[in-house]
Structure 1
C-alpha cells in the first residue's frame, strides 16, 4: 500500500482545507513539495479545489506553477480538467496520473477517453468527495457547486474508466484519525482500487493496510505531526 499526501493548489498558492469549506494558506507549491519530500511520500496528489466558478485563464496560471515544479516524487494532478483544451495544456508536465471528478460525474467519455489515449489507463483516477447526510450518501459535484446523491451517479461508468478511485471524507478533512470507514462500505468499488483521504492518521493507515487499499493520502497539516512516511510504514508492519 502506498502512503502519500494531498496538496491543494488555489490561485498559485498552496492551502490547507478543513471540512471542505475553510482554507488556510501554506505557501508556494515548490516549498510545500520540498517539505513533503523530506517525509518520503510515495506520491503527491496536487488538486485544485474548484468549488465554484473556474476559468481556463485561472487554470493555466496554476499550470505555470506545475511547469516550474522540481520533484522526484510521483505526482497526480486534477481539479478543473473539463475540456480537451484543459487536457492539452498538461503536456510535458511532471505528472504521472490525472485526477478527474466532474468528468466522471457528467459521464464525459470523450474527455476521459482522450486522457486515457495520452497518458494510459493506469494514469486515470476518479475523485469523489463524499458526505453523509443522515442515512444518505452524497458526492460533491464541483461544476454544480453542490452535493448530489451518490445513487444518481453512474458507478459502472467510473468502474470501467477509472484505474483508481479517490474517496475524500469531506466532513473530516483536516482532522486526524477521523476517517469514516462506512464510506467505503457504501460505494461498490474493489477495495484494491480505492485511495482514501480526509481525516487520515496513524490508526487509519493501519486499518487501510489491513483492508489492502491501494493508497492513503494524508492531509499536509497532519503529515507534519508524524516523523516520516517510512516511519509510518515501519510502525504498521510492527503492529
Structure 2
C-alpha cells in the first residue's frame, strides 16, 4: 500500500507568508523561505508554496520567492502554485526548483495549455487545485477570480482535462484556516472515485487528519496555519496517526515533548 503524505502549506500574499482564514483575512507570519526551511527541517513529506495573489493580478509566478527558497537548499519535494499562465511559466518554475506545479485558474480558461504543460512535464508533475464547498449534498467549485461557482458533477468534470493531472487538490475554501473544520463529506462527493486526492482547508487535529486519510482515494492531507503554532508539529501529528501507512517522522520521541 502506498504511504499517505502530509503536506506543509505556505500561503503567500504580496511576497510574505500569511496566516489565512477563508482566503479573506490574513495575518503576517514572516518571510516564506524561512517557513519552508522549517517545514523541510521538521519532516514534511512535501511542501506546497501557494502564492494566492498572482493570478488575480495577472503577475505570473513569483520567481522572487522561488529564488529565495532555492537559496535554502531544501531537500523536501516542492509544489508551486500561483500565477502559472502557460508552458513557459511552468517550465521556468520547475527549473527554479519546484518538483511539481499546481494549477487552478487555468482550469477555467486554458485547457489546451494544460495539455501542453502535461505533455512536456508529465502527468506526475501536475496537480489540479479546485476550491470547493458543499451545498445540498453536492460539491460546488469556486472560481476565486470571478467568484463564480459551478456544480461539480460528472458533466462538469467531463469537460476538464483531469487526465493531465496526477492528483486533484480539493480545498475547502470556506473552512480554510479554521480549527477542526474541514468538511469530511468533500472526498465522498467528488464524482471521480478513482482519482487520487489531496485535501486541504481546516485540517488541524491528528484524529481529523486520520479520518481524512482513511478514504482510499485520498493520497495526502495539506496543513497550513496550524503547523506554525508549534515546532515539530508534523512529527506530533504522525505520531498520533494509527492504522494508516505514513512516512516516518524524522525526529526522536524526546523532540516532541
Q: What is the TM-score normalised by the length of structure 1?
A: 0.86
1:169-208 to structure 2, matched below 5 A, reads 169-190=172-193, 193-201=196-204, 202-208=206-212
Match of 2:140 in 1: 138
- 3-state DSSP of counterpart to 1:34: helix
- In structure 1, the gaps of 5 or more residues are none
TM-fit CA distance, 1:91: 4.7
2:43–2:235 Cα contact (<8 Å) kept: yes
Match of 1:67 in 2: 67
Worse-matched range after superposition: 78-87 or 159-168: 78-87
Match of 1:8 in 2: 11
In the alignment, the residues of structure 2 paired with residue 238 and residue 185 of structure 1 have an alpha-carbon distance, to the nearest angstrom, of 20
TM-fit CA distance, 1:95: 0.6
1:6–1:217 Cα contact (<8 Å) kept: yes
Match of 1:29 in 2: 32
CA offsets 1:61-96 (integer angstroms, 9 cap, x no match): x21220231211111111221234433542521111
Match of 2:249 in 1: none
Q: What is the TM-score normalised by the length of structure 2?
A: 0.81
State how many pairs are aligned: 235
Q: CA RMSD in A?
A: 2.5
| Residue 38 to residue 220, structure 1, CA distance change in 2 (3 Å) | farther
- In structure 2, the gaps of 5 or more residues are 245-257
Match of 2:215 in 1: 211
2:11–2:224 Cα contact (<8 Å) kept: no
In the alignment, the residues of structure 2 paired with residue 205 and residue 158 of structure 1 have an alpha-carbon distance, to the nearest angstrom, of 29
- 3-state DSSP of counterpart to 1:173: coil
- 3-state DSSP of counterpart to 2:140: strand
In the alignment, the residues of structure 2 paired with residue 182 and residue 79 of structure 1 have an alpha-carbon distance, to the nearest angstrom, of 27
1:120-135 to structure 2, matched below 5 A, reads 120-133=122-135
Considering fraction of residues, name the structure with more helix: 1
